Amino acid sequence: MTENIESTKEGFKVYELGIHLLPSLSEADVQIEFSKIKSNIEKLDGEIISESIPRMFNLAYEIPKTLKAQKKWYETAYFGWVKFELDSSKLAVFEKFVKELEDTLRYLIVKTVRENTLVAKDILPNYDDEVNSKEVDVIDTAVATEEVVVDAVEETVSDTDEK
């Protein structure tokens, strides 16, 4: 079994930011907002480990956001994530930056491990056939152990056999 490496630098920890951006943004604006987030990580002397560029998703439930004293409810949002290494003393500064982004609908920052975690492709929603035919990095913040991965693979195989 491989060892979970939290960080390679003293005082640094590995984090993952999952973020929903407003669906009213254009594709170009989504890229700009995501670039701002990555630039801020680097500005704080952080290192980007991996990322998934935001894509439009249907939300499981409506999420409200108040903009200019008007409350709106959203059924879709752009979701993306970035895994990064950052000095733990600078995390509050980074979180404040993310929170103040006007086009953020919702975000979550979790402490994680450096290694990549894989998830079965049929668990991931809205992936087209080209993406499904490849191994995909996890978009969830949970760390899969060998046992969890084996269980997921066995379930997938048994579901496929039944079809």
- Walk me through the domains of the chain, giving residue ranges and CATH numbers: 1-115 (3.30.70.60), 116-163 (no CATH)
User: To the nearest whole percent, how much of the chain has pLDDT over 70?
Assistant: 66
Chain-wide mean pLDDT for the chain? 78
Amino acid at 118: L
The pTM of this model reads: 0.67
Task: Give the pLDDT band of residue 110 (cuts 50, 70, 90).
Answer: very high
Q: Dihedral of the CA atoms 3, 145, 115, 85 (nearest 10)?
A: -100
Residue 65 has pLDDT above 70, yes or no: yes
* Alpha-carbon span 163 to 153, nearest angstrom: 16
Angle at the Cα of 13 (from 10 to 18), degrees rounded to 5? 160
Region 62-74: what's the mean pLDDT?
A: 93
First-to-final CA distance of the chain: 33
In this structure, what token pair is assigned to residue 80? 């993306």
Region 109-138: what's the mean pLDDT?
A: 59
